[in-house]
Amino acid sequence: MSKAAADRRIHWRSEPHQGDIAAVRDIVASSGFFNAEEIDVAMELVQERLGRGAASGYHFIFAEADGKMVGYACYGPIAGTHSSFDLYWVAVHQSGRRGGLGREIMARAEAAIAQAGGTRIYVETSSRPQYEPTRNFYLRIGYRQDALLADFYGPGDGKVIYVKVLPGRRAD
């Protein structure tokens, strides 16, 4: 257990509950920079998982402190690839940032992906200045920029794609 987790007595789980939809909304909204549509998408991923189970392709790591969700990640295999996974979302409640929790959540997601046979993890974000902290976070935890799709989201708003290559267990 990391110092961050020990300090906060984090309880970890991966099975979503109905109440997680509202908890995810609160965490994602707390950042102040996701719009209403993006917040809806974050909630829909939990809804999809609750409705369709693992077949939804959405997998979660939830971090709770004192019974309240304080951060989470959502990931899943990329259809049509050998062993690549997407990291769809990672967020830590505004009140608990910069204490190592985001790093710990990602480490647990990466371990679960490796356990499932994944070897490459992709994550994408915007190139806008507002997302610099997010890009810095990915770089600090060992992701490297693999592509920049200029103007992808809109004029002057590109998509930056990061990757982390995990040690493969398969002979490929």
Q: Does residue 142 bind ligand COA (CB under 6 A)? A: no
Q: Does residue 31 bind ligand COA (CB under 6 A)? A: yes
CA distance 94 to 67: 17
Nearest Cα residue to 19 out of 85, 64, 78: 64
CA dihedral in degrees (2, 119, 69, 19; nearest 10)?
-150
Q: How far is the CB of 16 from ligand COA (least distance, A)?
A: 17
Answer for which of 24, 63, 70, 91 binds ligand COA (CB under 6 A) is 91
Q: Does residue 121 bind ligand COA (CB under 6 A)? A: no
Binding segment for ligand COA (CB under 6 A), chosen from 10-18, 77-85, 113-121, 130-138, is: 130-138
Query: Which residues lie closer than 8 Å to 87 by C-beta, 6 or more apart?
Result: 73, 74, 75, 106, 109, 121, 122, 123
Encoding tokens for residue 127?
Answer: 């190139």
Answer for which of 101, 109, 121, 160 binds ligand COA (CB under 6 A) is 101
Nearest Cα residue to 28 out of 19, 38, 18: 38
Q: Does residue 159 bind ligand COA (CB under 6 A)? A: no
Answer for which of 57, 77, 100, 142 binds ligand COA (CB under 6 A) is 100
Question: What are phi and psi for residue 170, nearest 5 degrees?
Answer: -100, 155
Q: How far is the CB of 166 from ligand COA (least distance, A)?
A: 18
Q: Which residues bind ligand COA (CB under 6 A)?
A: 31, 89-92, 97-103, 125, 133-134, 136-137, 140-141
